[in-house]
């Protein structure tokens, strides 16, 4: 039988280990992240482009990405926010997981060099280019209630867009995970309340997402619940699907921390 003293010792040892890991994740890892992508940098080679489309404000699209392909999401006007969910194509019970993405990387801030994880501990998407670092993993997308509160009427919203998109691939409400929203500069004040930092949005900002598995993605171009703009942004976003260069051994996304190295090893075994 474990004594109370032994339980206390185990608890203290676990706490010390937790603090060591947290220090490494929050203090050391960010120092190894690459600089943000220049706004006018990293053109896509024309031969690598597979397809391109515009998503009107309020609407959504479904994109299938093969492992090694990438999707550039461009906020052309600097006013849009794009919410994303997705599933592994071969087994849609595996989906993007925002909570694990935060937990494993010890940070709710994602930017170039970070990854999005699945709920099976594999790497879902890598952020190989990113001009803003202003993305939201915490608040989630708009709903009928949030649009009604903001605009006095229920308008097109991310929740209903996700439901419609999921239905078209044979899925339903129970299959929709929490989303990540790009170009959503959410921060926290000293009291732990969410803030919207408008100055971090610029016309032409983009993020490049490299697929680490075969994926089905849904992207919704609706105003973020915290966006104070009135009326809501009514601008399209541009999506460019392309063949990404093969990652090098020192690829920033693959080497940020021991936890991420293990996640990539787990992912690579799936396609070995």
Predicted confidence (pLDDT) per residue in 188-219, tens digit: 888 889 999 988 999 999 999 999 999 999 99
Please tell me whether residue 251 adopts helix, strand or coil conformation.
coil
Residue 81 belongs to a domain: yes
C-alpha–C-alpha distance, residues 68 and 126, integer Å: 10
Please work out, in degrees rounded to the nearest 5, the angle formed at the alpha carbon of residue 108 by the alpha carbons of 128 and 79.
70
Residue 9 belongs to a domain: no
Report which of residues 199 and 22 the model is more confident about: 199
Residue 18 belongs to a domain: no
Residue 251 belongs to a domain: yes
Residue 49 belongs to a domain: yes
Dihedral sign for Cα 53, 56, 62, 63, please: positive
**Residue 94: pLDDT band with limits 50, 70, 90:** very high
The parent domain of residue 127 ranges over 33-270
Burial class, 153, CB count within 10 angstroms (exposed 0-12 / middle 13-18 / buried 19+): exposed
**Residue 27: pLDDT band with limits 50, 70, 90:** low
Mean pLDDT over the full length of the chain: 93
Query: Into how many domains does the chain fold?
Result: 1
> By the 8 A CB rule, do 98 and 179 touch?
yes
Report the percent of the chain where pLDDT is more than 70.
94
C-alpha–C-alpha distance, residues 88 and 217, integer Å: 9
pLDDT tens string 121-130: 999 999 999 9
């Amino acid at each position: 039988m474990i004594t109370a003293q032994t339980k206390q010792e185990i608890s203290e040892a676990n706490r010390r280990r937790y603090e060591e890991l947290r220090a490494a994740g929050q203090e050391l890892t960010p120092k190894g992240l690459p600089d943000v992508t220049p706004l006018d940098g990293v053109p896509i080679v024309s031969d690598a482009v597979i397809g391109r489309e515009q998503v009107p404000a309020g609407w959504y699209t479904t994109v299938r990405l093969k492992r090694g392909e990438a999707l550039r999401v461009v906020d052309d006007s600097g006013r849009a926010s794009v919410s994303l969910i997705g599933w592994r194509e071969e087994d849609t019970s595996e989906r993007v997981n925002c909570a694990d993405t935060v937990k494993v990387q010890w940070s709710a801030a994602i930017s170039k060099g970070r990854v999005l994880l699945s709920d099976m501990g594999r790497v879902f998407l890598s952020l190989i280019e990113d001009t803003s670092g202003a993305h939201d993993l915490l608040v989630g997308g708009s709903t009928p209630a949030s649009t009604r509160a903001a605009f006095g009427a229920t308008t097109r919203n991310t929740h209903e867009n996700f439901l419609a998109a999921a239905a078209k691939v044979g899925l339903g409400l129970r299959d929709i995970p929490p989303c990540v929203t790009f170009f959503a500069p959410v921060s926290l004040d000293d009291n732990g309340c969410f803030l919207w930092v408008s100055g971090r949005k610029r016309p032409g900002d983009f993020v490049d997402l490299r697929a680490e598995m075969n994926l089905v993605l849904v992207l919704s171009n609706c105003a973020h619940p915290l966006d104070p703009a009135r009326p809501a942004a009514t601008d399209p976003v541009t999506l460019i699907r392309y063949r990404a260069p093969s990652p090098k051994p020192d690829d920033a996304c693959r080497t940020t921390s021991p936890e991420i190295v293990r996640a990539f090893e787990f992912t690579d075994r799936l396609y070995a």
